Structure 1
Amino acid sequence: MRAKFQLLLLSAAIAASSMAQANGVSEVEQLRQEVQELRQLVQQYGEQQRLTQHQVQTVQNQVVMPKTEAQKKPSGLGLTVGGAEVKLYGNVRADASYQVQGGPDARPYNQIANVPLEGERAYKDRFKSTLAATRLGLDFKAPVNDANVAGKIEVDFLGSGDALRIRHAYLTYNDWLVGQTWSNFAVPDYIPDTVDAMTYTGGAIKRTPQIRHTTKFSPDTNVVVALEDPKDSSSNLRLPALTARLNHKVLDNMQVGVRGMVNEKRTDADTSTAWGVGVGTKIDVTPNTTLKADYYHVKGDGSFILSTNAGFAQDADQNIVAENEFDSIILGITQKFNEQWRGTLGYGYMQADNNDNYLQTATGNLNKELWQTWANVFYSPSKPVSFGVEYTMGERETFSRPGQPSRTGEDQRVNMVAVYSF
């Protein structure tokens, strides 16, 4: 294009020279002015061309660079399925125990509420093992307009006969949760470390179908309210249990959880109201020393807390005669020795009230007191691998009733675990 303009300029100059000879000096001056104007136009055109090329390059960079950055950006949870980001996790877990004396169950887990009493058949010197606590899970996260939508599915093999069972299955939408997960009342947050997958007396690891809402007042304080199905086989469910939990970070090294529960209990002929309260705390005494404690007081319900008597007693006409009431506590201290070694000392206790009406109507051996203590050590040679060994001992004491004197039974085991997490 520039060559054409240069040729035009040369032609104009030749023409100007010829016309000057024919028409005189004044016409030559006029032609010189016109040539000068033409030269300026050529320069302006060249400048416009350079500006246009620069603008095009800038636009191309603006379009291409964001795509390049997006390609380099981490993909969050990794795998994408149906528009949702998905993370696969889980573990392979082998549990074993040498039972000096304890319960009849073939699995190597806590059975303190059912260990044989004096005069009953003893289950001594037995080795037990299982891989049924192995679990698989999927976390989901999906963009839906401006909402935070997520979900979880987690299973293990602790169903009847080592069958697959649901541990967690729920979806969340902003501050709402619908599905099955840890009970809002019986939370495992304040249970000290145990090798035993079913934890010990005073602990609670209940998972229930529920719908719940979380209200956040500050980064340190929130309130969770839920309607739950407690899955209490002794009661004909008409209304779900109402639970509430306040979580508060008191100090940088201390958090507290306060919980409450109300639940209707119902037979074909009668109803009663069960209730309970719970308080738990976790304190980092030092960066390597953690103290946990959890306390419950419950009346009329035996479905939320481990190792308790039935929530209520009924007569032959299915009238609710009396309710069981109990207190329980579990506490322990965990010491981290280094990046590979840590250990825990713990104690759990449950005591039921001496209610004559309940004792006279309820059937079976009713536990008055249960206690367990344990000590363990965990070794993690690398991040995904952990080995643990634990010694536990405990005792069960029943109520004394007419024709049925108080008796005791003992639990004494060495538990072992090997876990590979991914």
Structure 2
Amino acid sequence: MSTSFRMLLLAGTALVSSSAACAEPASLEDRIAALEAMVAGLKSELAAERADTDREVVRLETIASAAAADKPAASPSGFTVGETTFRIGGIVDLDAHFTTLSDGAIDGASIARDFYIPGATPVGGDETQFTDFTAEASRFAFTAERPFGDDKVTGYLELDFLGSAQGNELVTNSYSPRLRRAYVTYGNWLAGQEWTTFQNTSAIPESASFLILSDGMVFVRQPQIRYTHGNWQFALENPNTDTVNAGARDETLVPDVIGRYNWKGDFGNVSLSGIARQLRADFGPSEDEAWGYGLSLSGQVKLGKRDDIRFNLVGGEGLGRYVGLAAIRSAAVDASGKVEAIPGYGGLIAWRHPFGETARFNLGYSAQWADNPDFVAGTATKSVQSAYGALLWDVAPKVTLGTELMYGIRETESGLDGTLTRMTFSTKYAF
């Protein structure tokens, strides 16, 4: 209790005592009621003053702590500047690969040395072996979010170092960042570079390496405009016609159109996606186009309390780069410039089995087959297949050690084939 409040209370008590000796009973009661009202008002003012003081102390302590750490004051979900909340996350990843190729070599600067790219498995050569250590799959991500109206605006930026054109293994292994994802969302809308709407990312198998079972997997990140309403998603995405014999053609006029429906529940999740796309090639005086289409059924389904099955079934004409990391192309161009969509189908299935408190085992198979036109027979890929087993163990919070054995085979239209056998050891820390 403050000194001023005590003095007021004593003065009031003395006033009541002196008045009690000569006042009428009714008058005395009125004065006591007035004094009680005055005391109640003083208590309210002092309580409000104390609350303001406490808030100021907390604010000053927060500023002082942030200044000592040389960073803005943090909120539980990041740090806030003005009305915008920022978050930072990522992965530190070291992969060690021991690879055997049955029929050829992969250049030391190729991204296929860092993870499995089915179409890059060589055929028709001699056996080669090599060892690679890489941290290029390490990544970092930034999120910025602020309220707007009854919703919020969110921006996301993610980078890693795979496939960098800068750097080498001679001295410093200095690699430049590359763009993975960059988009903004507001309400039901997304605009920017993100996983294609044709893909269900929960179907990606868990692995020790950067990516596994990509042969029959839908896997693309690209610029797009997407609208989501309940379980439905619709998108216009960046077009590009990848041909088996005339390179990647960038003359397409119509965006790739994708629709998707998602089912979610206690069982896990399943998605059905459809795509329609223009395949166009322009060689000056001659130009032609074809249309591609396809369906994909994918998801992650729970088995019992902890196990799950991840799967992807996909087929159509002209899917090309959407499946298998472009192992099989969307179209072929004949001698007259006519564009022909290439039919193909494939899929994957993977089983994840946790055991103990922090370990799990993964096992899976993936494949894709193409029906290439006769005029491109030869080096064109006819099929790709792979299988793998991986053991992962969380040795500390968000720190995972992994070991993995995978085997892949690629067959061409000429009948040649080549295999890739790879043992991977990895250490990952997510922050």
Pairing 1:367–2:348 present: no
Q: TM-score, normalised to structure 1's length?
A: 0.82
Distance in 2, Cα, partners of 1:319 & 1:181: 32
Is the deviation greater in 368-377 or in 54-63? 54-63
Q: CA deviation at 1:154?
A: 0.7
Is 1:111 the counterpart of 2:117 in the alignment?
Answer: yes
On the 8 A contact 1:96/1:108 being kept in 2, the answer is no
Q: Provide the C-alpha distance between the structure 2 equivalents of 1:129 and 1:153, rounded to a whole number of angstroms.
A: 26
Return the TM-score normalized by structure 2.
0.80
Which residue of 2 is the match for residue 45 of structure 1? Answer: 34
- For residues 89-128 of structure 1, what are the structure 2 equivalents within 5 Å? 89-101=89-101, 103-106=105-108, 107-117=113-123, 120-128=124-132
Opposite residue 46 of structure 1, the aligned amino acid is L
* Counterpart residue type for residue 300 of structure 2: K
- Tell me the alpha carbon deviations over residues 126-158 of structure 1, each in whole angstroms, 9 at most, x when there is no partner: 112211111011122212232122121110001
User: Any idea what SS the aligned residue of 1:109 has?
Assistant: coil
Given the alignment of the two structures, is residue 143 of structure 1 paired with residue 144 of structure 2, yes or no? no
1:48 partner SS: helix
Where 1:334 maps in the other structure, the secondary structure is strand
Larger mean CA deviation between 206-215 and 82-91 belongs to: 82-91
Q: CA deviation at 1:61?
A: 7.2
| Distance in structure 2 (CA, Å) of the matches to 1:379 and 1:193 | 12
Match of 2:229 in 1: 215
Q: Superposition pairs for residues 306-321 of structure 1, below 5 Å?
A: 306=324, 307-320=326-339
Residue identity in the other structure for 2:263: H
Say whether residues 1:77 and 2:77 are aligned partners.
Answer: yes
Q: How much does 1:418 deviate?
A: 1.2
Unaligned runs of 5+ in 2: 1-10, 63-73, 166-174, 242-247
Secondary structure, counterpart of 1:267 in structure 2: strand
> What is the aligned counterpart of 1:265 among 276, 279, 284?
279
Aligned to 1:412: 421
Cα deviation, residue 378, structure 1: 0.7
Structure 1 residue 185: deviation in Å? 0.5
Residue 310 of structure 1 aligns to a residue in which SS?
coil
Tell me the matched-pair count: 383
- Is 1:224 paired with 2:233? yes
The one of 263, 274, 277 aligned to 1:248? 263
Q: What's the counterpart of residue 28 of structure 1? A: none
Q: Is the 8 A contact 1:9 1:35 kept in 2?
A: no
6 and 300 in structure 1: CA distance in 2 versus 1, 3 angstrom threshold = closer
2:86 equivalent in structure 1:
86
Where does residue 171 of structure 1 map in the other structure? 184
Question: Any conservation in 2 of the 1:248–1:256 contact (CA below 8 Å)?
Answer: yes
Q: How do 1:126-205 residues align onto structure 2 when only pairs under 5 Å count?
A: 126-161=130-165, 162-200=175-213, 201-205=215-219
- Cα 1:406–1:58 change in 2 (3 A) is same
Counterparts in 2 of 1:305 and 1:45: CA distance versus 1, 3 Å: same
Alignment of 1:290-301 (within 5 A): 290-301=308-319
Matches for 1:245-394 after TM superposition, within 5 Å: 245-249=260-264, 251-268=265-282, 269-306=287-324, 307-320=326-339, 322-353=340-371, 355=372, 358-360=373-375, 362=376, 365-394=379-408
Q: Tell me the residue number matched to 1:20.
A: none
**Amino acid of the residue matched to residue 342 of structure 1?**
R
Give the partner amino acid of 1:80: T
**For 1:270, what is the secondary structure of its paired residue?**
strand
Q: CA deviation at 1:398?
A: 1.4
CA deviation string 1:1-38 (max 9, x = no partner)? 6489579859xx9xxxxxxxxxxxxxxxxxx8x76665
**Farther-moved stretch of structure 1 (271-280 vs 48-57):** 48-57
Cα deviation per residue 1:139-184 (whole Å; 9 max; x = unaligned)?
2221223212212111000133243111111111111111111110
User: 1:235 touches 1:265 (CA, 8 Å); kept in 2?
Assistant: no
> How far, CA to CA, are the matches of 1:6 and 1:374 in structure 2?
92
How has the CA–CA distance of structure 1 residues 69 and 325 changed in structure 2, closer, same or farther, with 3 Å as cutoff? Answer: farther
Helix, strand or coil for the counterpart of 1:278? strand
Alignment-mate amino acid for residue 423 of structure 2? V
Shift in Å, 1:260: 0.7
C-alpha distance in 2 between matches for 1:279 and 1:253 = 16
SS in 2 for 1:365: coil
Shifted more, 152-161 versus 303-312: the winner is 303-312
The structure that has the greater radius of gyration is 1
Distance of 1:290 and 1:110 partners within structure 2: 23
CA contact (8 A) 2:158 2:179 kept: yes
Task: Report the Cα distance in structure 2 between the residues aligned to 1:193 and 1:3, rounded to whole angstroms.
Answer: 78
Deviation at 1:273, TM superposition (A): 1.2
What residue identity is the alignment partner of 1:150?
A: T
